[in-house]
Amino acid sequence: MTAGATRAVVAVIVALHALVGWGLLQVQAVRDTLAAAAPMFVDLLAAPRPEPQPAPPPPPPPTRPAPK
């Protein structure tokens, strides 16, 4: 297959998938199922919140040499 033919086949496949997706969205049951599943996908993809780290302890005070 030439490069042009390959691109045409890919374009037809993408167009058919878009057409089937559009057709499925015309069915009310499919739309209801997608509406119910959409928040679940968002929850699965959301990054977990990191737990707050405790503040590091303050540095010790500088030591002074003892007088002689």
Query: Where exactly are the structural domains of the chain?
Result: 3-45
Q: What mean pLDDT do residues 15-21 have?
A: 97
pLDDT band of 42, cuts 50, 70, 90:
low
Q: Which two tokens stand for residue 65?
A: 């040499």
Q: What mean pLDDT do residues 31-51 have?
A: 78
The SS3 assignment for 58 reads coil
